[in-house]
Amino acid sequence: MSTQQSLQAFSAEDVAKHGSEESLWIIIDGNVYDLSSFQNEHPGGKKILKRVAGKDASKMFWKYHSAGILKKYSPKLQIGTIGSAAAPPPALAPAPAPQKQSTAKEPFEAYGDMIPFGDPSWYQSYYSPYYNESHVALRNEVREWVESALEPNAGEWDEKKEVPPEIYHEMGRRGYLAGALGVHYPTEYTDIRPASVAPEQWDHLHEFILTDEIARAGSGGLIWNLLGGYGIGAPPVVKFATPEVKKRVLPGLLAGEKRICLCITEPDAGSDVANLTTSAKKTEDGKHYIVNGEKKWITNGIWADYFTVAVRTGKPGMNGVSLLLIEKTMPGVNVRRMDCSGMWSSGTTYVTFEDVKVPVENLIGKEDQGFKVIMTNFNHERLGIIIQANRFSRVCYEESIKYAHKRKTFGKRLIDHPVIRTKLANMAIRIEATHNWLENMIFQTCSMSEQEAMLRLGGAIAGLKAQATQTFEYCAREAAQIFGGLSYSRGGQGGKVERLYREVRAYAIPGGSEEIMLDLTMRQSIRVHQVLGAKL
């Protein structure tokens, strides 16, 4: 295995001497790869490599692969570069770190590959009122990690239905878990600090950037593995658990050493939360609850140490619901993996509670007032879904525009066909509309109290969720059409699009289905605006 340190400088003539099966070297973009051993395991076949042995194979390589392949295989196969310097290849070069202060008058330097609409506009040197240099620094830090450690492996992990636990620990060590709670950065429960942002500066825009950049790996399964259970299961504990429980539970959770999930949905109660039936009956001595019931589609359940569970402690309807922190070590907690059409590495789980004895100290918030706790979770949960769905739409668009520049049909590139440009434009206009509204909403949450945001933004965020998931569905479909057969087989150039297409429903249904969201948009906005003075 070669490392970046041991790269050597070669000339084209040196490479030409290795043009046989016994010693098979090729050049891609000025870098030299030794494929002598790899040729037998090359998924595209051995013969095709022999044809370019000893030569510059850049054109052929880019015809059949996307950039992630080089990132994944370079450490193993790259032995040098053409010319003098043994600099890291472009695909592995660390992201430039422009650190200019932004004001509404001065945009940041361009970042990323500048594909039109391929990144949020403030990455591409457009003016924005929202961001400062700490956002730039975090963006660069996260992107570097995602591009080197996550994106090249996302497909493999999804097929295996498992992300190495080390990656989750790394989320903790980097302070990303602590920064993903929809609240201030909780320095009171952890000594971990993010590398690029002072904890007191950390705001909802940082969390937005963190989620958006991780979503760029193009796998809902991966991002739900890392943030799916935690991002909705941990905030109620942070906000409403007793000080003793917080002290005992939070340090391990924030460090990524322990895992948590949120259990609300049941086989018979999804968006209709007020009708859940999992029961929690108090023992006669008043010291415990005995919990019985089933929870379904629980993200991360199979790996969870803690379960934030909605239970019925009182009368029917929303005023009889409470939240309990149930622990894996308590007898009677059982989990089994569910088979779903997508999100494979997210660990979708069926959880059963059978006579689980839970100390009353594990109550989160007040008895029978769990519905309020659940309500305070919604904006954060939905904004997370929106951020991810919109970046996935962008990934579909970005993959498509790149592919459209290399694939030729009827004698010209796809991008030269007006029908393909129209498809790309229809994707881009939806993505940009969603992103701009999303930035505005997150900016509001930075400025409003949580209570105010819950009341005033609930309707708009519900509408934005519907818009984001409809956009995702649209973009996944259009990208699949552009990729043709490549989006129907798993892996390879259309791999991200194939996977994302299967993940669309995981965004349009949970966290409030599109139908419920659209209705809520109007119901809640009308109610709030009547209070604010709308004459209707």
Give the nearer residue to ligand HEM in terms of CB position, either 44 or 129: 44
Report the residue number whose CB is nearest to ligand HEM: 44
* Residues linked to residue 33 through DSSP beta bridges, in sequence order: 26, 78
Euclidean distance between the first and the last CA atom of the chain, given in angstroms as a whole number: 71
Positions in 74-103 near ligand HEM (CB under 6 A): 77
Token pair recorded at residue 25: 């070297």
Are 400 and 427 in contact, with CB atoms under 8 Å apart? Answer: yes
Contacts of residue 285, defined as CB under 8 A and 6 or more positions apart, other chains included, come to: none
Contacts for 20 with CB less than 8 Å, ≥ 6 apart: 53, 54
* Binds ligand HEM by CB under 6 A, chosen from 67, 69, 87, 290: 69
Stretches 57-65, 113-121, 209-217, 256-264: which one binds ligand HEM (CB under 6 A)? Answer: 57-65
In the complex, least distance from residue 355 CB atom to ligand HEM, rounded to whole angstroms: 49
3-state helix, strand, coil in the chain (%, to 5): 55, 15, 30
Question: Which residue in 506, 481, 426, 32 sits closest to 223, CA to CA?
Answer: 506
CB of 72 to ligand HEM, least distance (A): 8
* Rounded least distance, CB 35 to ligand HEM, Å: 6
- Whole-number minimum distance, CB 225 to ligand HEM, in Å? 21
Rule CB under 6 A: choose which of 29, 46, 60, 170 binds ligand HEM: 60
Candidate residues 23, 64, 99, 127; the one interacting with ligand HEM per rule CB under 6 A: 64
Look at residue 289 and give its three-state secondary structure. Answer: strand
**By rule CB under 6 A, what string of x and - marks binding of each residue 327-346 to ligand HEM?**
--------------------
Stretch of 56-64, 269-277, 346-354, 438-446 contacting ligand HEM, by CB under 6 A:
56-64
Judged by CB under 6 A, the residue of 15, 24, 52, 401 near ligand HEM is: 52
The Cα angle at residue 449 between residues 444 and 455, in degrees rounded to 5: 75
Chain residues 263-322 in contact with ligand HEM, contact rule CB under 6 A? none
Stretch 8-47 residues interacting with ligand HEM (CB under 6 A): 26, 33, 35, 42-44
Q: Is 67 an interacting residue with respect to ligand HEM (CB under 6 A)? A: no
State which residue, 70 or 138, has the beta carbon closest to ligand HEM: 70
Give per-residue burial for 135-147: e unless 16+ CB within 10 Å, then b.
bbbbbbbbbebbb
**Is 53 or 325 the residue whose CB approaches ligand HEM more closely?**
53
Count of residues that interact with ligand HEM, criterion CB under 6 A: 20
- In angstroms, rounded to a whole number, what is the distance separating the alpha carbons of residues 436 and 426? 16
Say how many C-beta atoms besides its own lie within 10 A of residue 344's C-beta.
24
Sign of CA pseudo-dihedral 237, 238, 240, 242: positive
Nearest to 438 by CA among 496, 397, 383: 383
Within 447-506, the residues that bind ligand HEM by CB under 6 A are 491-493
* 48 touches ligand HEM (CB under 6 A): yes
Half-sphere CA count of 4, side-chain side, radius 13 A: 9
Tell me whether residue 52 or residue 260 sits nearer to ligand HEM (CB atom): 52
Where on the chain is the footprint of ligand HEM (CB under 6 A)? 26, 33, 35, 42-44, 48-49, 52, 57, 60-61, 64-65, 69, 73, 77, 491-493
